[in-house]
Structure 1
Amino acid sequence: MRDAVTVRPFTSHAVVHSGVARVTLIGELDLDTAPLVRETVASCLAKQPTSLCLDLADVSFCDCAGLGALLRARTAILLSDVSLVVEGIGPPLARLLALIGAGDILTERSSGTDTEPVRRAPGAVAARHEAGETATVDQALRDHLA
């Protein structure tokens, strides 16, 4: 049971349709709720989508455990060779990413083979797994922060 300090309980919604998965996270992403991100993303990946949209617009709070869950989800998605689109990085998460020097970790990565521009909602960013990429996302994050 959550304590009385919780302003907005955490919920996650996942839908997979025609090879496209959409995961919407709402509320406080913290130590208690981080495992739900992993479970939700894993259940989507089990359905083998070609792309996954992670909607973070309604995340009202994110601590280090929540950030870790998002980065592990990103790793799992990209290592599954699934395109990742992240929508709605709000002020709490943007601030946390900026504080650790990873403000662009959830930005577009293009393999240069795409002929059409990525289309997404305003405020959205995207990341794609590049063919032949062998470094883990953890290593990429360490390299980015160096």
Structure 2
Amino acid sequence: MRDAVTVYPFTSHAVVHAGVARVTLSGELDLDTAPMVHNAVADCLAERPTTLCFDLTDISFCDCAGLGSLLTARLTILGEGVDLVVEGIGSQLRRLLSLIGAEDLFTPKAAETDLGRARWASAGVASHRAAETEAALPTRPGTF
């Protein structure tokens, strides 16, 4: 019966090319679809990229389970030493991140290198390095 209430079905698309992985998510990211985020990220990381780009432009809805899958994916990506780039955070996801005090985890920040600035700034993209963002991770016992 879940499909009867899903307005925007969830889809994920993952591709790796020349060391850059791109995971495009769209639709409703919730308890039912959250595991697909892990699968897409795992498939990309198996290809050993240097950068992984999350395109969240078309996420129409995200609940706590969906948010948890994004945060877990972020930790996994950065833990592998892969740069994380995030594009297109909509107002609903931005508000959810803000409510838990995590808005800086997926928002645009200056790239660490001149190459990074040139590569990502014109596209309005954020680049986060594992070492730089590890201090900003939630440190509650029993999480992630």
> TM-score normalised to the size of structure 1?
0.83
Residue type of the partner of 2:60?
S
Q: Distance in 2 between matches of 1:36 and 1:98?
A: 24
> In the TM superposition, what is the alpha-carbon distance from 1:55 to its structure 2 partner?
0.2
- Runs (4+) of structure 1 exceeding 4 A deviation are none
The answer on whether the counterparts of 2:30 and 2:65 sit within 8 Å (CA) in structure 1 is yes
Question: Percent identity at matched positions?
Answer: 59
Partner of 2:94: 94
Q: Distance in 2 between matches of 1:95 and 1:29?
A: 15
Query: Can you list the C-alpha shifts for 1:20-78, whole angstroms capped at 9, x where unaligned?
Result: 00000010000000000000000000000010000000000000000000000000100
Partner of 2:54: 54
> In the TM superposition, what is the alpha-carbon distance from 1:141 to its structure 2 partner?
1.8
Residue type of the partner of 1:15?
V
Question: Is the partner of 2:54 in helix, strand or coil?
Answer: strand
> TM-score normalised to the size of structure 2?
0.85
2:127 aligned with 1:126, yes or no? yes
Which runs of 5 or more structure 2 residues have no equivalent in the other structure?
A: none
Q: Distance in 2 between matches of 1:69 and 1:25?
A: 12
Q: What is the RMSD computed on CA atoms of the aligned residues?
A: 2.2
> In the TM superposition, what is the alpha-carbon distance from 1:116 to its structure 2 partner?
3.2
Q: Distance in 2 between matches of 1:19 and 1:125?
A: 18
Q: How many residues align?
A: 136
2:5 aligned with 1:5, yes or no? yes
2:40 aligned with 1:40, yes or no? yes
2:112 aligned with 1:142, yes or no? no
